[in-house]
Structure 1
Amino acid sequence: MKGGASSYGFATKRRWRCLVIGVLGLVILSMLVPLVFLLGLHNGFRSAGYVSEQQSSASGDQSSHVHEVIRKFGPTFPKDVLRNFTSKAKNKTIHAGSKRDSQPKEGFPMPPHSILQSPSSTNDSKVGAALKVPLYGTNVLDAIGKLCEFKFGSYCLWREEHREEMKDSMVKKLKDQLFVARAYYPSIAKFPRQDKLSRELKQNIQELEHVFSESSTDVDLPPQVAKKLQRMEAAIAKAKLLPVECNNVDKKLRQIYDMTEDEAEFHMKQSAFLYQLAVQTMPKSLHCLSMRLTGEYFRSPPNDTELSVAEKYIDPTLHHYVIFSNNVLASSVVINSTVMHARENVNQVFHVLTDEQNYFAMKLWFLRNTFKVATVQVLNIEHLKLENHNKASLLRLSLPEEFRVSFHSVDGLPVAPVRTEYISTFSDSHYLLPDIFRNLKKVVVLEDDVVVQKDLSALWSLDLGGKVNGALQICALKLGQLKKYLGENSYNKNSCAWVSGLNVIDLVRWRELDLTETFQKLAQELTVHEASTEAVALRASLLSFEGLIYAIDGAWALSGLGHDYGVDIQSISKAAILHYNGNMKPWLELGIPKYRKYWKKFLNREDQFLSECNVNS
């Protein structure tokens, strides 16, 4: 009994002693681990979170590996392209145009296939490997430019044309260094033995941030900025020698890149908005001109010159031109250029239809300015008395609608190049022509953004062959390619799209077919299913004249001078009419400079109101 008790006690002491030794071991280890990290001895060990090369080779191989990671995920687009294009920018899936002096509107579906795919995540060693170029063989810059135009319209063309070279090279270099330092700093701060380098990086970052808070150009930089740049470069060089965890640098650089990309996207959209606002707003000088003319009209004595030419307004044997406009200068240029190139002016009659706001300014302008012996009549469309009450309810000035339509050049082939066309169509006011000019048989409708360079008298001898509208056609764009815009209505899919700008109208045939009633019925039916009034205008105009378009020879008019920087100069000199379709109108400061001279030479610069209102277009 006694021996059994002693053996039991010995076993108990033994277990207790082992437990004490184990606890002491844990206590010692818990003290040693913080000591190891405090002394920085862990730098000699390998860790799964860091690069696995030996400490002796870390300075070379690890630094190159970090740069390879940075290079791989970096922008695959050239930097100059990234400055004006953001691939993440979202836009509505519809493109349509605008009224005369406004930006192209959005309201119609774009093609479902984008020009560029998003960057790939594959580990290709080439910088540009993530960029997927379309199969149709265009180069990268052209593809990006097309996609930008696809999203933002002619703003992208205008911005590229007016791009200024980067002058502030020092600011750019400082921002690049700040970008890299911010990426390395979080990883360097984790090294306890690198407190000095961590503080140095932090101080340099704060100094550069302070510099950018007060300076944005090289001229504004403080004189000591070169030394600050040297200190930053030295600190970054030291950071690159350390075994930095690539994942941390990669993550930080991606965060900064995303922030920069979002900022670029914001500025891109803001710039596009301001551009569109500029082309949509009447310039201050033109507003001044309209106001001065209106005030002068009521101060001037009555003028009875219209009574002497009233018979010409309704004489069907004369050449009648119709212009819808609320722009005094634009309509004046159209008339002046037409008269200057006409062989005979005595049989020319111009009818300018405008709204009540601009009516008196138009009246005085055309009373003060004569155009040889041609006759000019100004009509207030809001005060016209029409027999049909339903049509009279539409008495408000609506200018020709203009749409920017993007489509694949080969229908049904998603890899085909995406093209953009500017289509201008009739507005509601155009469908009042048969009622406004009841005594006339034929009229030529000119938009106020055209310039005439040759005699147009041959248009009056055209035999339309039973058609109603002699117009220019865009046969590169078939109605079948616009089925997303026009719906599945019964129409010839192979018919060419037509545009306004220069239109020869057979009013007799129009009345026989009652196209005004056809248009109104189509517009009412489409309004039920289509919220956009611009979409209704495009569909109703194209479908109302289905099968009734007479194709005018393309040599009569050249379009694109309001959106295309690449129009051939020789083609301009040969064209009878120049059409500034697009939103860069010649009377705007945003107009294309090399085309504005063809418009400016028909201005009456001797008028005192032009100089008083600083109209120096």
Structure 2
Amino acid sequence: MMDFSDNMRRPRVPSADELEKAKACQLEFGSYCLWSIEHKEVMKDAIVKKLKDQLFVARSYYPSIAKLKGKEALTRELKQNIQEHERVLSESIVDADLPSFIKKKIERMDRAIARAKSCTVDCNNVDKKLRQILHMTDDEAHFHMKQSAYLYNLGVHTMPKSHHCLNMRLTVEYFKSTTLDSDDSPVHKFNVPDHRHYVILSKNVLAASVVINSSVSSSEETRNVVFHVLTDAQNFYAMKHWFSRNAYRESAVNVINYEHIILENLPEFSMQQLYMPEEFRVFISSFERPTEKSRMEYLSVFSHSHFFIPEIFKDLKKVIVLDDDVIVQRDLSFLWNLDMGDKVNAAVKFCGLRLGQLRNLLGEAMYDPQSCAWMSGLNVINLEKWREYNVTENYLQLLEKFRNNDDEASLRAAALPISLLSFQNLVYPLDERLTLSGLGYQYGIEEKVIRTSASLHYNGNMKPWLELGIPNYRKYWKRFLARDERFMDECNVSP
């Protein structure tokens, strides 16, 4: 995920201090903050908490008591109690692990603290020590949060072991099989311009399968429907075998090795690696009303690979592009009769972010500052208009301008300004009710809203095929999974 921040008006929150803490957390750790808040567990081990509180107070008084004459016995008692508490807490983190004599230790510490509080000490010294301990505790908490956030991000960006197993098994079976090869596919449908063509970029077998299954399950007619799955060389054979084994009503599935077709048929384009739709973390707040609630959004846009779709499908006039984290819940056939005029890309606009708010990112390029951003996920593309307006050529020119160096991070970061500028004045606005976004990071979306949306977009880190996916939303994705696939059982795939 790339991270960009800007400003927008949002509803108020009760406390400005809480807002700043939440903002700082989300800026540093992104959706991990939302996940950690949702999964925060209330500490149930009251005795352990009591021990920690006593240790906190005893440590703050100890330096001041140690400086007092005639308080040597109390100093030794405090030191001994502190050491005993530290030893107990190093061995026990829950109440059940505490030794049977812990109540006596707590009582002794209470008496020692009471005696310390009765002494005349410099309050400034105690306050200074309390603040020192507090800062140390904050530093320790931040360290553990960084560790947790790292593990969270590792979890959301790493393919689960079971999915890797599934890909390997499918790849092996593809080369062992002779009866399910691609020659049996309805190739005659693949390039018929009048058919309804959907394009999906994916490296995930299950995700691509769910997109297709949800689409055909929601369609009234599938006889002339074709799905083109663009994948990379590593996952190509697994995809081929999966879609040879599984039928999706009367629709046809065409699996394409993107890297091979670019290398063989479009060698003039250097972008041979398959790039998935890019998601950018956008932190939206208000400088004018700093106490108003800030909000994090994930903006999805086309990747670099999307800009070669018209070159790959030279015979087609119109396609619908679906991200692989989308499911379809209503018949989308009406989109094929959509009159887009002279527009190229029919998309849901995201007016929570306008181009003028990205002026530092867009540089000196010419653009309308009031123009809304737009979302990938479900897009209708007029390929004829695309070619007429030379969108791919314009993209290549913008790539030279925004690509700072050759590393992948810089290349991916350039996808946002390039996508927004490439379609300046070429976006046809789709009804925002067509796609409900945010199911990969936004908690609290009402079930009624989810059920009535034509399609669901799981943009964000918490994808539905991961264990970290938001449980309340995963069920809508899981209902379109293949249920009788033996490889899923053998690899223990249970999203």
The answer to whether the superposition gives a TM-score over 0.5 is yes
Match of 1:506 among 363, 376, 382: 382
CA distance in 2, matches of 1:416, 1:176: 34
* Aligned partner (choices 25, 41, 50) of residue 164 of structure 1: 41
Deviation at 1:110, TM superposition (A): 5.6
CA RMSD of aligned residues (A): 2.2
Q: Distance in 1 between matches of 2:240 and 2:11?
A: 57
2:116 pairs, out of 239, 264, 273, with: 239
Larger mean Cα displacement after TM superposition, 283-292 or 416-425? 416-425
8 Å contact kept, 2:236–2:255: yes
Which of residues 156, 159, 164 is equivalent to 1:287?
Answer: 164
- Which residue pairs with 2:457 in the alignment? 579
Indicate the residue corresponding to 1:383 in structure 2.
260
CA distance in 2, matches of 1:287, 1:137: 43
Shift of 1:510: 0.7
Retained in 2: the 8 A contact 1:442–1:507? yes
- Please report how far the alpha carbon of residue 534 of structure 1 lies from its aligned counterpart in structure 2 after TM superposition: 2.5
| Contact kept in structure 2, 1:467 and 1:506, CA below 8 Å | yes
Q: Among 295, 300, 305, which residue is 1:419 paired with? A: 295
Task: Answer yes or no: is the 8 Å Cα contact 2:356–2:368 preserved in 1.
Answer: yes
Task: Tell me which moved more, 360-369 or 243-252.
Answer: 243-252
Distance 1:598 1:137 in 2: 31
Residue number in structure 2 paired with 1:76: none
- Using a 3 Å threshold, how does the CA distance of structure 1 residues 409 and 465 change in structure 2: closer, same or farther? farther
In structure 2, what residue type is equivalent to 1:249? Answer: V
8 A contact 1:135–1:415 mirrored in 2? no
> Which residue in the other structure is 1:313 paired with?
190
> What is aligned with 1:535?
413
Residues 370/495 of structure 1: CA separation in 2 closer, same or farther (3 Å cut): same
1:469 is matched with: 345
Query: Which AA in structure 1 matches 2:239?
Result: M
Residues 354-400 of structure 1: per-residue CA shift (max 9 Å, x gap): 00100000000001111111100100011115655322x22221101
Aligned residue for 1:123? none
Q: Where in structure 2 are the equivalents of 1:384-533 lying within 5 Å?
A: 384=261, 387-391=265-269, 393-408=270-285, 417-528=293-404, 532-533=410-411
Q: Which residue identity lines up with residue 399 of structure 1 in the other structure?
A: M
| Higher relative contact order (CA closer than 8 Å, sequence separation 6+) | 2
Instruction: Show the counterpart of 2:221.
Output: 344
The counterpart of 2:432, out of the listed 551, 554, 558, is 554
Structure 2 counterpart of 1:157, one-letter code? L
Alignment correspondent of 2:200: 323
How far apart are the structure 2 equivalents of 1:187 and 1:298?
Answer: 76
Could you tell me which amino acid in structure 1 is paired with residue 200 of structure 2?
A: I
> In 1, distance between residues paired with 2:485 and 2:255?
19
Cα distance in 1 for residues equivalent to 2:360 and 2:164: 39
Rounded Cα–Cα distance in structure 2 between residues aligned with 1:359 and 1:587:
20
In the alignment, is the contact (CA less than 8 A) between 1:356 and 1:382 conserved in 2? yes
Q: 1:389 aligns to what SS in structure 2?
A: coil
Q: What secondary structure is seen at the aligned counterpart in 2 of 1:584? A: coil
- Take 1:219 and 1:156, find their aligned partners in 2: how far apart are those partners? 30
What CA deviation, in whole Å up to 9, does each residue of 1:256-301 have, x standing for no partner?
A: 1111111011111111111111100001111110011111111111
Which of 73, 89, 96 aligns to 1:212? It is: 89
Residue of structure 2 in register with 1:192 after alignment: 69
Relative to 1, partners in 2 of residues 1:137 and 1:275: Cα closer, same or farther, differing over 3 Å?
closer
The answer to whether the 8 Å contact 1:318/1:347 transfers is yes
Change (3 A) 1:608 1:387: closer
Structure 1 counterpart of 2:57: 180
1:361 and 2:238 are equivalent in the alignment: yes
**Cα distance in 2 for residues equivalent to 1:202 and 1:416:** 47
Q: Larger radius of gyration, structure 1 or 2?
A: 1
Indicate conservation of the 8 Å contact 1:316/1:439, yes or no. yes
Residues 13 and 291 of structure 2 are in contact (CA less than 8 Å); yes or no, is this contact kept in structure 1?
no
Q: Quick one: distance in 2 between partners of 1:304 and 1:288? A: 21
Q: 1:605 to 1:515 in 2, by over 3 A?
A: same
Which 10-residue stretch deviates more, 326-335 or 293-302? Answer: 293-302
Confirm or deny that 1:614 pairs with 2:492. Answer: yes
* Paired residue secondary structure (1:192): coil
Equivalents in 2 of 1:455, 1:584: separation in Å?
26
Q: In structure 2, what is the Cα distance between the partners aligned to 1:151 and 1:606? A: 42
Cα 1:590–1:308, aligned 2, differ >3 Å: closer, same or farther? closer
**Partner of residue 473 from structure 2, selected from 583, 595, 604:** 595
Aligned to 1:21: none
The answer on whether the counterparts of 2:233 and 2:259 sit within 8 Å (CA) in structure 1 is yes
1:248 and 2:125 correspond: yes
In the alignment, the residues of structure 1 paired with residue 475 and residue 265 of structure 2 have an alpha-carbon distance, to the nearest angstrom, of 44
The CA distance in 2 between the partners of 1:510 and 1:206, in whole Å, is: 73
Residue 403 of structure 2 aligns to a residue whose secondary structure is helix
Counterpart of 2:448?
570
User: What do residues 153-188 of structure 1 show as CA deviations (whole Å, max 9, x unaligned)?
Assistant: 211111111111211111111111111111111111
- Report the CA distance shift for 1:376/1:529 in structure 2 as closer, same or farther (over 3 A): closer
Moved more, 588-597 or 420-429: 420-429
**1:109–1:485: 8 Å Cα contact kept in structure 2?**
no
Among candidates 70, 91, 99, match of residue 222 of structure 1 = 99
Deviations 1:448-483 (A, max 9, x none): 000110111111000111100000101222111122
Alignment of 1:270 with 2:147, yes or no, is yes
What is the Cα deviation at residue 149 of structure 1? 2.6
Between stretches 504-513 and 478-487, larger displacement belongs to 478-487
Contact 1:109–1:484 under 8 Å retained in 2: no
Alignment identity in percent? 56
> How far apart, CA to CA, are the structure 1 residues paired with 2:321 and 2:99?
62
- In structure 2, relative to structure 1, the CA distance for the partners of 1:532 and 1:414 (3 Å cut) is farther
Q: Distance in 2 between matches of 1:502 and 1:409?
A: 30
Shift of 1:196: 1.4
Distance 1:210 1:529 in 2: 53
Letter in 1 for 2:94: T
For structure 1, which runs of at least 5 residues remain unmatched after alignment? 1-97, 99-104, 116-133
Cα deviation 1:316-364 (Å, max 9, x = unaligned): 0100000000000000000001011111111110000000100000000
Normalising by the residue count of structure 1, what TM-score does the alignment of the two structures yield? 0.76
- CA shift at 1:567, angstroms? 1.3
Q: CA deviation at 1:487?
A: 2.1
- After TM superposition, give the deviation of residue 528 of structure 1 in Å: 3.7
Contact 2:354 2:371 in 1 (8 A): yes
CA distance in 1, matches of 2:12, 2:184: 64
Q: What CA distance in whole angstroms lies between the structure 1 residues aligned with 2:469 and 2:107?
A: 46
Q: CA deviation digits over 1:20-64, x for unaligned, max 9?
A: xxxxxxxxxxxxxxxxxxxxxxxxxxxxxxxxxxxxxxxxxxxxx
Partner Cα distance (2:223, 2:240) in 1: 20
User: Which runs of no fewer than 5 residues in structure 2 stay unpaired?
Assistant: none
User: What is the alpha-carbon distance in structure 1 between the residues aligned to residue 404 and residue 159 of structure 2?
Assistant: 33
